[in-house]
Structure formats: C-alpha cells, structure tokens
Amino acid sequence: MQTNLATAQSLAERLLIAAGVPGPAAVQQAELLLVAEAKGVPSHGLLRLPRLLRRLANGTASPTNTGKHEWLSPCYLSVDGEQGLGPVVALRALAAVVPAAERHGVAVCSITNNNHLGMLGFYAGRMAERGLACLGMTTSEALVHPWGGTEAILGTNPLALGVPAQPHPLVLDMATSQISMGKVHDHALRGVPLEPGWALDADGNPTIDPVAAKDGSIAPFGGAKGYGLGLGLGAMVTFLTGAAYGKAVGGTLDDDRPSNKGDLFILMSGGGHSAGEYLDEVRRSRPADPSTPVAVPGDGARSRYQDSVADGIEIPDGLWRELTALEAVQREAALAE
Amino acid sequence: MQTNLATAQSLAERLLIAAGVPGPAAVQQAELLLVAEAKGVPSHGLLRLPRLLRRLANGTASPTNTGKHEWLSPCYLSVDGEQGLGPVVALRALAAVVPAAERHGVAVCSITNNNHLGMLGFYAGRMAERGLACLGMTTSEALVHPWGGTEAILGTNPLALGVPAQPHPLVLDMATSQISMGKVHDHALRGVPLEPGWALDADGNPTIDPVAAKDGSIAPFGGAKGYGLGLGLGAMVTFLTGAAYGKAVGGTLDDDRPSNKGDLFILMSGGGHSAGEYLDEVRRSRPADPSTPVAVPGDGARSRYQDSVADGIEIPDGLWRELTALEAVQREAALAE
C-alpha cells in the first residue's frame, strides 16, 4: 500500500516504544528503517521490524542498552554494543567519536555485540555532511562463496564511504556480493530465474533456480577483486573488533541468536580541498546514453529519497497488515495488564 | 633474459646511485621495482626505471628529498613529498607513523608531491607483518571512464589492504579498473585484441582494438560498484590531501610533469583477534576446481615471490639492453668529468 514517510515512521516508533524502547531510541531505529524504504532499499527497511520486535520480546535484543564505551586512546573508541539496537548504539558511538576525529584528524570506533545497523550509507552520509570523510564496514552472516570457491563462508561485508562535497557529498554504500540474498528470496517468491553467475546451489554448482540458491551461496561482485575486497574488509573488522567471522556469525537474519558481528568506522577530517568540483566534472562528463547523465555514488539514493518525501512510499500489503496487526496485539496486551 | 633478483636489483641500485640517489634510498627504490618483478607485476617493475632516471636527470624528480613532515596531531602526519622518490618518501613517512598507530590504535599519513610508489601492496604487507591493519590508497592519471560514462576521467585508483595473520597476512592490492593501461599497450604491441567490455575508444565507443583503446579509456572493474569504489577512493584522497584530481593528475606516466597525485595510508592496531584461523578456513573451503585451492589475497604474489627468489626472473631483452646501455652511458659521463 501507498503511505507517507511520517505515517510509516510513526507506526514503527509506536511498535518499538510498546516493545520497551525509549522514545528517542525508537525514533532513531525507526528512522533507519524508513530511510532505507525511502531510498529504495526495502531489504534494509520495515521488513526487518517484525524480526526486531521478536528479538526484543524474547530478550535477544535489548531495548535500552546503548553500548559500553571504552576509549583505548583519545582517538580510538571501542564499544561493546550490549545487544542494543544497531542504530542507537552506532549513532551514540559516532556522536562520541566525531569530536575526536575533528580534533585529531582521525578517529576510529569499533563495535561488537550490536544489532543490525540498517543502511551503512546512512552513517557515512551523515558524517560527510558534518565535514568528515568516513569509511564504514560491518560483517555479516556467511552467504557468499569465495572467487574460485563454492561454500558460503563470507558475509556480504558491505563498505560505506562518505566524502564531504558541495553541493552533495559522495556516499557509496555497497555490499561486496553480486546480489543480496534478499534478491534471491524475492526471485524465489515471484518464480523468476536468477541471472547466470549470481549464485551456486548447496552442492556448489552454478544455478539460476532461486529456490536452489537459497540453500547455496551468492557470488562476490567483480570476480577476484570483489572477493578480495569482501574478505579483506571482513578480516580487518575481525582483527580490530574480535567479532565472530565466517559461518559463526549470527544475529541479523534470525530471531534468537545474539548478534556477534563487528562494525568499524574510520572518520577523518580533511586537510585537503573539497571534492565537489571534481564530482561535478564527473557528473558533466560524456555519458554512454545521452539521456542518462553520469551519476556519482549517492546521487540516485538522494533523488529517490526526495521523491519519497514528496510522493510517499510503497509498502507491500502483507507487511503493512503484519505491522498493524502487531500493533493491535501490543494494544490488547497493554490493556490486559 | 633470465637473471636473478640480486643481479637485477644491484643494476637498478647502481643506475640510481649514478643518478645522484644516496645508497640507502637507491636500495629502497630498487627493491620496490624488483619486488614487483618477483611478484609477477612487471608494470610496476624495472620498465619504470628508465623514465625515473630521465625524471632524475631533468630535475623533475629529486634524488635526495625524503619529504617534509608536518604532524597535524599526534596521529596524523601530513607529508609534502618534495618530488622525492616514491618509495623513499612513503617508507620514511610510514616509519614515522607506525609508532603513532601502535600507541593510539590508529594513525594516518597523507602524502602529496610524491613520485610513483610502486606496488601499493608492498606497504600494506609490510605493515601487516608489523602487526598493523593497513589501508593504502593512491590516485593516478585519468585513464578510466565512469560506469555509464565514456570519458577517461578517473584514475585506476588502487586500494591496498593488509591484515595481520598467522602464518601469512592477508594482502590485497587491486586497481579499481578492469585492466591496466599497461595491458592495453601490451596487447597493442603483440597485436592481440582486447576482450569485450574492457575498453572504449576516444569517441566513447566499445572497442576490442588495443590501438584504439590507447587513446580511449578503460572500464572500471565490477560495474557500478567498482566505479563507485574507484571514484570514492579518489575523492577521499583528494579531500584529505588536496592533491590534484581527474584529468589534472600527472607525473607517474611521463618524463617531465611534477607528480601531483595523492597517497593515503591508514594504520590501525588490533583490539580483536588474529584473522589467521578464519583465513585458513577460507583456504580449506571447497574449491570450484578440485585441483585449485581457494586463495586468500596475497597468497599468489607470495608464492610467485618465493619462486622468483629460487629461480630468478625473466626481464624482456630490450629492457635489459636499455638498462645496461644506460649504465655504460653513465660510466662514460663519469669518466669524462
């Protein structure tokens, strides 16, 4: 169904508050879900909310913990997320580390035991708007096979990269897999075959059958380089945070496993000059298709966000029914108390 | 011709010393060239030496400058490379910044006005062997078109990533282009067509003719993601160093332009645990081809290096003749003085 952003965000906030999440934290968590919807990344949007509510209900996620901060140096913050809400823990950690980056030129925060962050690009974009270059990394469940391999042993290990610029920052947000497992599930639901090269089945054979791919693995993007990047980012996060790796990672796609992945942010303040002029030069450069100008990472998401603010967003009927039904259940439970 | 590493390195050192480079600096510069030969990356090897000698001879590169260090904070070193030799300036900067990274958990050095570094992975590997995670970036001449674009406006903007691990660190060293311009030239020399998708001609049309591609542009790797990564890394280096960008970059592929690209290294010391066990798990995972085990980035280069130490390296006859002829000219010039 079609709804506007504020209506959907308000529903998400009420559901979170009824699950015991304090108001300001509910706003942060709900915003991350709605930003993903608005930017056209529904895999990181409201569909994650029912699972999160189950995790809050069964005690796997904490509604109130915001992370235990330990400064290893004036520019290195180590955070134990205490199974708090991903965006709440991450935003508090970033707020603490921004002044350190501004003062020292660079600062890092590493986070463990934290729930799913949502769109990693959100954080990189926010940092870039504050004038800081940002690299963001997070590890995830093993769904991806190595280049030359056939076992799901790598996370989709995304990288976010933000660079301040006028009029708009560059914001890259990319998984290191060719596609997401969400896309495989979507194809399976709709009965549409995958493209060759996207996935392997459980025996490690190439498949275009999305049902077979669900039990198999997805390919890294860009061949050996994309594989190397995904593995390298994952190993770096593991080395710096001590988080779980490979097949031992859980907690962002299930209801009841503690989240044991790692998150890493590197913030740097610029000694150089704005990249805005260069990015504009790239945007103005000769396109392959005269009707489609060259885009800079973040341009598309920004434009989709503006459209969503103006025109609203489309939520699958089933998901909307599930969320409103959850609210009815919460209300009854509250009345019964 | 076939030669051993020590013979070739010694020739390179003598040529550099005769061009006015102090002995220890000549050893560093020569080592970077020979490591590339030994690891099977001749585009970063001895073929760059004649150009470097011309740059030293005409004053474009300085034989003795090692960079002006300015600490912007206890963990941020800004270096003006003063047109010194790339590896000499970079290794001195890294030596200065390693203790800062060990003490503060993170430290950065940004470098401008420095000649070509050689293989970026060399630095990441060395840092990883010292126990530090490392991200290395450098910008370069505009040879690559954007995804959806047709103009050479991006550098091949490589990324190096090192993660300490036993028994071997992970060392990723990748350009963000599909292929190198060196490969285009090599195909042109040998009259071998390119693969579709690798390059565009000067008018922006797809071509498999390597001669046409020399005046055109090469593709980013991995489609939109590889493009985004290359542009993002380039913009980040530009933002932090103030180096030139896009078509204004020069100095690593010519004889007489000052080198105005930027280099950036981020070093971090681990609060987590070794990634070695995970990397071994990846190496032992089921391969696509039973006779080819899954490799971790750096494995191939390490094995090629060991082979080269044992069996020597193959240098093109023409290049070897050029280098030995250069030495004869230097000797005559020295006698005439």
Closest CB to A272: pick one of B76, B163, B238: B238
Task: Quickly list DSSP for A162-222.
Answer: EE--SSS-EEEEE-SBSS-HHHHHHHHHHT-PPPTTSEE-TTS-EE--HHHHHTSEEPBTT
pLDDT tier for residue B121 given thresholds of 50, 70 and 90: very high
pLDDT tens for A119-137 read 999 999 999 999 999 999 9
Measured CA to CA, the distance from residue A229 to residue A95 in angstroms comes to: 28
Average pLDDT over residues B40-60: 94
Q: Assess whether pLDDT exceeds 80 at residue A7.
A: yes
Measured CA to CA, the distance from residue A226 to residue A223 in angstroms comes to: 6
How large is the angle between the packed helices A5-18 and A23-38, nearest 10 degrees?
140
A41: domain range? 2-177+220-283+312-336
Q: Assess whether pLDDT exceeds 80 at residue A274.
A: no
Average pLDDT over residues B48-53: 95
**Helix (H) or strand (E) run with residue B77 in it:** strand B76-80
pLDDT at B181: 83
CA angle A122, A127, A129 (to 5 degrees): 95
pLDDT tier for residue A255 given thresholds of 50, 70 and 90: very high
| 3-state SS assignment for residue B315 | coil
pLDDT tens for B204-261 read 999 999 999 999 999 999 999 999 999 999 999 999 999 999 999 999 999 999 999 9
* Residue bearing tokens 């970063």: B44
Q: Over the Cα atoms of chain B, what is R_g? A: 20
Residue B210 lies in a domain: no
Interface contact B123, partner A, CB < 8 A: no
Q: Assess whether pLDDT exceeds 80 at residue B273.
A: no
pLDDT tens for A295-337 read 999 999 999 999 999 999 999 999 999 999 999 988 888 888 7
Alpha-carbon distances of A82 from A16, A53, A109, B138, B231, rounded to whole Å? 18, 17, 15, 38, 36
Measured CA to CA, the distance from residue A315 to residue A311 in angstroms comes to: 13
Average pLDDT over residues B11-31: 97
pLDDT tier for residue A180 given thresholds of 50, 70 and 90: confident
Average pLDDT over residues A145-164: 97
Average pLDDT over residues A200-229: 96
Residue A233 lies in a domain: yes
**Is the CB of B285 less than 8 angstroms away from the CB of A153?**
yes
> CATH number of the domain that A319 lies in?
3.30.1370.60
Domain count, chain B: 1
Average pLDDT over residues A192-202: 96
Average pLDDT over residues B30-54: 94
Looking only at the bridges linking them, the beta strands covering A132-138 and A262-269 are antiparallel
Interface contact B284, partner A, CB < 8 A: no
pLDDT at A175: 96
Q: Assess whether pLDDT exceeds 70 at residue B24.
A: yes
pLDDT tier for residue A272 given thresholds of 50, 70 and 90: low
In sequence order, the 6+-apart residues with CB closer than 8 A to the CB of B270 are: A239, A240, B131, B133, B164
CB A67 within 8 A of CB A40: no
Interface contact A221, partner B, CB < 8 A: yes
Rounded to the nearest angstrom, the minimum Cα separation between A10 and chain B is 34
Q: Which residue of A has its CA nearest to B299?
A: A228
pTM to 2 decimal places: 0.97
B interface test, pick of A180, A278, A292, A302 with most B CB neighbours within 10 Å: A278
pLDDT tier for residue B331 given thresholds of 50, 70 and 90: confident
CB A79 within 8 A of CB A89: yes
Looking only at the bridges linking them, the beta strands covering B106-112 and B76-80 are parallel
Interface contact A320, partner B, CB < 8 A: no
* Chain A hits for B151, Cβ within 8 Å: 285-286
Interface contact A245, partner B, CB < 8 A: yes
A interface test, pick of B68, B285, B302 with most A CB neighbours within 10 Å: B285
Size of interface A-B (CB pairs under 8 A): 257
Nearest to A251, CA basis, from A60, A43, A14: A60
Rounded to the nearest angstrom, the minimum Cα separation between B259 and chain A is 16
Count of helices and strands (H, E) across chain A: 11, 12
| Residues 189-218, chain A, touching B (beta carbon < 8 A) | 204
Q: Which residue of A has its CA nearest to B131?
A: A239
pLDDT at A186: 83
Main-chain phi, psi angles of A103, to 5 degrees: -80, -45
pLDDT at B287: 97
How would you write B234-246 as a 3-class SS string?
HHHHHHHHCCCCH
In sequence order, the 6+-apart residues with CB closer than 8 A to the CB of B248 are: B260
**Is the CB of A108 less than 8 angstroms away from the CB of B107?**
no
**Is the CB of B294 less than 8 angstroms away from the CB of A146?**
yes
Interface contact B223, partner A, CB < 8 A: yes
Q: Where are the beta strands (DSSP E) in chain A?
A: 2-3, 68-73, 76-80, 106-112, 132-138, 159-163, 170-174, 199-200, 206-207, 217-218, 262-269, 313-314
Nearest to A196, CA basis, from A209, A185, A215, A214: A209
Measured CA to CA, the distance from residue A128 to residue B46 in angstroms comes to: 40
Rounded to the nearest angstrom, the minimum Cα separation between B23 and chain A is 33
Interface contact A285, partner B, CB < 8 A: yes
Q: Over the Cα atoms of chain A, what is R_g? A: 20
A151: amino acid identity, one letter? E
Average pLDDT over residues B175-180: 94
CB A178 within 8 A of CB A198: yes
CB A249 within 8 A of CB A155: yes
How many residues belong to chain A?
A: 337
pLDDT at B272: 67
Nearest to A5, CA basis, from A319, A309, A321, A300: A309
Interface contact A127, partner B, CB < 8 A: no
How would you write A123-167 as a 3-class SS string?
HHHHHHHCCEEEEEEECCCCCECCCCECCCCECCCCEEEEECCCC
* Chain A hits for B294, Cβ within 8 Å: 146, 148-149
* Residue bearing tokens 């490799």: B295
Interface contact A170, partner B, CB < 8 A: yes
Closest CB to A232: pick one of B172, B236, B281: B172
Closest CB to A172: pick one of B153, B174, B229: B229
Residue A288 lies in a domain: no
Question: What dihedral angle (degrees, nearest 10) is formed by the CA atoms of A277, A278, A280, A284?
Answer: 130
* Chain A hits for B226, Cβ within 8 Å: 221-222, 225-226
pLDDT tens for A39-62 read 999 889 999 999 999 999 999 999
Residue A134 lies in a domain: yes
Interface contact B10, partner A, CB < 8 A: no
pLDDT at A309: 95
Residue A197 lies in a domain: no
Share the mean pLDDT of chain B.
95
Average pLDDT over residues B1-30: 96
| 3-state SS assignment for residue B328 | helix
Interface contact B74, partner A, CB < 8 A: yes
Residue A212 lies in a domain: no
**Is the CB of B133 less than 8 angstroms away from the CB of A282?**
no
Interface contact B169, partner A, CB < 8 A: no
Looking only at the bridges linking them, the beta strands covering B159-163 and A159-163 are unpaired
pLDDT at A32: 97
* Chain B hits for A159, Cβ within 8 Å: 229
Residue B214 lies in a domain: no
Q: Assess whether pLDDT exceeds 90 at residue A259.
A: yes
pLDDT tens for B280-329 read 999 999 999 999 999 999 999 999 999 999 999 999 999 999 999 999 98
Nearest to B43, CA basis, from B163, B161, B173, B201: B173
User: Above pLDDT 90, what percent of chain B?
Assistant: 91
How many residues belong to chain B?
A: 337
Interface contact B105, partner A, CB < 8 A: yes
Rounded to the nearest angstrom, the minimum Cα separation between B17 and chain A is 34
CB B88 within 8 A of CB B57: no
Residue B300 lies in a domain: no
Measured CA to CA, the distance from residue B71 to residue B68 in angstroms comes to: 10
